[in-house]
Structure 1
Amino acid sequence: MKYYISDLHLFHKSSIDFDNRPFEELADMHEYIRTHWNSKVTNGDTVYILGDISMRGNAEALISFVSTLRGRKVLVRGNHDDVSDYRYKQLFMEICDYKEVQDAFGGKNYNLVLSHYPIFSWKNMDKGWIHLYGHTHNSQEDQMYQNVLQHMSETCEHLHQSMPSAINVGCMKPWMEYEPRTLKEILENIIRGRTIMNQKELMLAGKIYDPNDPELLELRAKAHRLSAEYNATFETEEEKRQSIMKELIGNLGEGVYLQGPFQFDYGCFTSIGERTYANFNLTVLDTCPVTIGKDVFMGPNVSLLTPLHPLRWQERNTYYREDGVLTDKEYGKPITIGDNTWIAGNVTICGGVTIGEGSVIGAGSVVTRDIPPNSLAAGNPCRVIREITDADRVD
């Protein structure tokens, strides 16, 4: 599968205001991009990034972030891309300034011309070749470019039979929505005006969605299969276990150890930081993003449950869709567990909860509200008992 995207502008604070991006902080944008990217792209897919992954600088952070994104990445360089660091170069299958590729869907072949900058006259534009580009964001410059192409199609006789197709694949465009898209998705989204969110997007946004949507059923089936495969392994099969986790979990840090058995609902919407450990019977229902930090300890029978159902039975009960499929209405809220936390055995963490860095949650707790950093908390519902201080040091 081939995907396309441009102008991510990672670690570029002013990009949020410049493009009116729907994120309060860069961290929110980064997590959204990574979660959506890894939920659809596999390591066997190719992603063509048409420039401006990031502003110059922030080399260490950029290398760390890009290395977590799945797929074989091809960088078509933009004006802000600095590829002088060899470690960064190694993250890409190819780095170039211009690329011609072939793609196909629906039994039809397409020829594409890829560049960061919009081209006024690209190869075989009169023969139906499509030009994908970036750089111009939502600017007046982009609108002027499209107006010129429209004028060319109306006045140039050899273009009358084939309106030249040049598409801005900047991540901020409504047909892109901050995630890599296939050519099929791009064209279909443009045709329908991209005014309707699909069920996966509704789910991740915490809105009411249909859990029996075909795409979601396929994602869950994959996660359940991979969970079962992992649970059938022995502890000594370290390479096989690691391979399964990398395929299952959206963002997996180094040194993560999951004892198993475990169960993930999607897996691809979960991020687990370096050196995190989970004991027997971890359950992660990640209908909304689940973010687990670095150096987190989780005891046996920990459940991370993002899904929610309507309180009134009139909205909660199952019903038949127009196509005869029995379904229900669900929604969810994300869960965030900070670095250096300890979640003891038989703890349930509900959707919408953030547990602050360095906190400890006592055994058997049901966590329904946020826990501040460096807190000892326990109970049903879980409440803060006291702050963890240097007096708790064990020598």
Structure 2
Amino acid sequence: MSNVFFTSDHHFGHKLIIDFESRPFTDVEQMNESMIESWNAVVGKADKVFHLGDFSFLGKEATQTIVSRLNGYKTLILGNHDRGRSRSWWLDAGFDEVSEHPLIYKDFFFLSHEPMYMNKHMPYVNVHGHIHGQKYEGKNYFNICVEHWNYTPLTFEQIRDSVVVSEEG
């Protein structure tokens, strides 16, 4: 049986993100290799991964090389740094699916790059990226940025169980 994973904001090839977000890497090559290892340590070939944007700052060939090394069937929801490139560019780079808009998963989870407006009366959860080390308060938001999760994708069950626990707590 395959698993479903979520992650965002790898910023492959983005040297300045190491300082911007105090990432624990000495250089961009170490960052890229470490994030590929972390991904493949949990994601199997038959698994599905939703990447919620800001995947790579590299050219198409270097991006293709990274995508091809990552396990799983990969769906990209375009982030603010991805939108300068066309949907077909990202498909050519190796993603299996690419969405320019948020997606709804299991009729309850809104998957988006930027956090969406959610009022406290809405029963839904917005799984998002974009804000890196920051965190929105409340049970309606789940920040999947790599900085919060040791640069490793999380399973749907990990997110679901975390949301259920926070609602009970």
TM-score, with length taken from structure 2: 0.82
Alignment partner, residue 140 of structure 2: 165
Alignment partner, residue 51 of structure 1: 53
In structure 2, the CA distance between the partners of 1:186 and 1:28, relative to structure 1 (3 Å rule), is farther
Richer in strand (by share): 1
Q: What is the DSSP-based 3-state SS (H/G/I as helix, E as strand, rest coil) of the residue aligned with 1:167?
A: strand
Point out where structure 2 has 5 or more consecutive residues left out of the alignment. none
- 1:258-337 residue pairs with structure 2 within 5 A? none
Alignment partner, residue 42 of structure 1: 44
Q: What is the DSSP-based 3-state SS (H/G/I as helix, E as strand, rest coil) of the residue aligned with 1:67?
A: helix
- Give me the CA root mean square deviation: 2.5
2:7, 2:153 within 8 Å by CA — same for their partners in 1?
yes
Alignment partner, residue 152 of structure 2: 179
Alignment partner, residue 93 of structure 1: 96
Q: What is the DSSP-based 3-state SS (H/G/I as helix, E as strand, rest coil) of the residue aligned with 1:54?
A: coil
Give the drift of 1:29: 1.3
> Which amino acid in 2 is paired with 1:76?
I
2:111, 2:128 within 8 Å by CA — same for their partners in 1?
yes
- In 1, Cα distance between equivalents of 2:96 and 2:112: 16
1:23, 1:29 within 8 Å by CA — same for their partners in 2?
yes
Q: What is the DSSP-based 3-state SS (H/G/I as helix, E as strand, rest coil) of the residue aligned with 1:17?
A: helix
Give the drift of 1:84: 3.2
- In 1, Cα distance between equivalents of 2:90 and 2:104: 23
Q: Name which of 118, 121, 142 aligns with 1:121.
A: 118
Q: Deviations over 1:205-245 (max 9, x none)?
A: xxxxxxxxxxxxxxxxxxxxxxxxxxxxxxxxxxxxxxxxx
1:11, 1:58 within 8 Å by CA — same for their partners in 2?
no
- 1:1-395 residue pairs with structure 2 within 5 A? 1-55=3-57, 57-81=58-82, 82-84=84-86, 86=88, 88-90=90-92, 91-96=94-99, 97-102=101-106, 111-121=108-118, 126=121, 128-138=123-133, 142-143=134-135, 146-147=136-137, 150=138, 164-173=139-148, 176-186=149-159
- In 1, Cα distance between equivalents of 2:162 and 2:20: 23
Point out where structure 1 has 5 or more consecutive residues left out of the alignment. 103-109, 151-163, 193-395
- In 1, Cα distance between equivalents of 2:131 and 2:37: 25
- In 1, Cα distance between equivalents of 2:89 and 2:64: 7
2:118, 2:140 within 8 Å by CA — same for their partners in 1?
no
Taking every aligned residue pair, what percent have the same amino acid on both sides?
A: 31
TM-score, with length taken from structure 1: 0.37
> Which amino acid in 1 is paired with 2:66?
F
1:74, 1:93 within 8 Å by CA — same for their partners in 2?
yes
- In 2, Cα distance between equivalents of 1:79 and 1:167: 18
Higher RCO (C-alpha under 8 Å, 6+ residues apart)? 2
Q: What is the total number of aligned residue pairs between the two structures? A: 160
